[in-house]
Amino acid sequence: MIIGWKSPLDGRVYDLDDFAALDRVIPEPVLRAMTRKVQTDTRHQGPKITITSGLGCPRKMLIQRMLPTAPDPTKMWKMQRGTWLHECVGLSLSANEDWITEESDADACTFEGSIFGVEMSCRIDARKKNFTKVIDWKFRGDGAERWIDPMGRAKDEDSAQMNMARMLMEQTTGRDLTDMEMHVWVMSGQTVRTTVPWMSEDQIGAIRPGGGTYDVRSIFAFLEAGMTEWKKDLVMDDEARMRIIGALPMVGETMYRNKRTPSINMCSRYCEVSDTCFQCEGGI
């Protein structure tokens, strides 16, 4: 859980509401919005697993759930910016009576089930009421459209996420959604619609997010192992929690590496809880 913000300028930890002290780091209105989002987000708390957690680093997710942290707000902003823009786009589509969005009815966009033998849930951005189409919005940095497949095929991680959502939708509703259209709108310097191909559970499990060492099936197995240990004693002290986290591999270390600098540890570049992660050692 987030208890404060760490300034990248002086390394000091400031209170969540000390907006003035961090104004040189990130504009006050932006930090206020981020803080409000963090304080009201109850879905990403406790030992529950979501489909997106299997597309990132399990150590990062467990740290965010299990330990007090003070992240760098400039690293957090990329994710929170996308969340805020999701809300804006979702509200614009909510007026369409054929669609249900997370903003118009979050419960109707939330689904649960089991994939790879792991209980998990998802919340989609928007779907047709008759389940014939589902869409997701991805907000990425300017120029991201350069890396979009020229045939309009969604990137592997996006396809894995959408197909896991489809599987949970099928399990929740009892419907066969094999023919449901799935699209991911990539918004950066331009807005580009990509198409998601149907994938089997094995195909999803073989995807290696960010081109890293570990595949999706393995990441969920790590998450399940960590969560299982935590659930044995939800009030265990922080030292015990750090041992659980330290037993897991640093999955994010090899994600999104530049081909010209393959030996660089990427965690310190983009992970807002890397300082805490580097302190976690031990074993289950």
d(Cα 194, Cα 100) in Å, to the nearest integer? 20
Query: Does residue 26 sit in the same domain as residue 113?
Result: no
Structure confidence at residue 242 (pLDDT): 94
Q: What is the pTM of this model?
A: 0.86
- The answer to whether residue 284 is domain-embedded is no
Q: Specify if 13 maps to a domain.
A: yes
pLDDT of residue 41: 72
Domain span at residue 117 reads 82-205
- Domain membership of residue 33 (yes or no) is yes
Same domain, 35 and 93: no
- Are residues 249 and 144 part of one domain? no
Element (H, E) at 84: helix 73-94
89 and 70 share one domain: no
Q: Which residues pair with 192 in a beta bridge?
A: 186
Same domain for 232 and 267?
A: yes
Task: Provide the number of structural domains found in the chain.
Answer: 2
Q: Is residue 147 in a domain?
A: yes
Residues 62 and 96 in one domain: no
- Are residue 86 and residue 74 in the same domain, yes or no? no
116 shares its domain with 183: yes
Alpha helices in 174-236 (DSSP H): 201-205, 216-231
**Which stretch of DSSP H or E encloses residue 185?**
strand 181-187
Note the pLDDT tens digit of each residue in 53-72.
Answer: 999 999 999 998 999 988 88
Q: Are residues 102 and 91 in the same domain?
A: yes
Q: Are 114 and 15 members of one domain? A: no
Q: Is residue 228 situated within a structural domain? A: yes
185 and 87 in a single domain? The answer is: yes
Domain boundary residue among 150, 173, 205? 205
Q: State the number of CA atoms in the 13 A half-sphere of 54 facing the CB.
A: 32
All residues at 6 or more sequence positions from 98 whose CB lies less than 8 Å from its CB, including other chains: 128, 129
Q: Last residue of some domain: 205, 223, 242?
A: 205
Do 131 and 199 fall within a single domain? yes
In a domain, 43, yes or no: yes
pLDDT in tens, the chain (284 residues): 888 888 989 989 999 889 888 888 888 888 887 787 777 777 667 788 999 999 999 999 999 899 998 888 887 776 666 555 556 565 566 657 899 988 889 899 999 999 999 999 999 999 999 999 999 988 766 555 666 788 889 999 999 999 999 999 999 999 999 999 999 988 776 778 899 999 999 999 999 998 899 999 999 999 999 999 999 998 899 999 999 999 999 998 888 776 666 666 678 777 888 888 989 875 44
CATH value at residue 131: 3.90.320.10
Asked, for residue 282, whether it belongs to a domain, the answer is no
Tell me which of 159, 188, 205 is where a domain ends. 205
> Is 102 contained in some domain?
yes
pLDDT of residue 284: 40
Query: Residue 245 has what pLDDT?
Result: 95
pLDDT of residue 138: 83
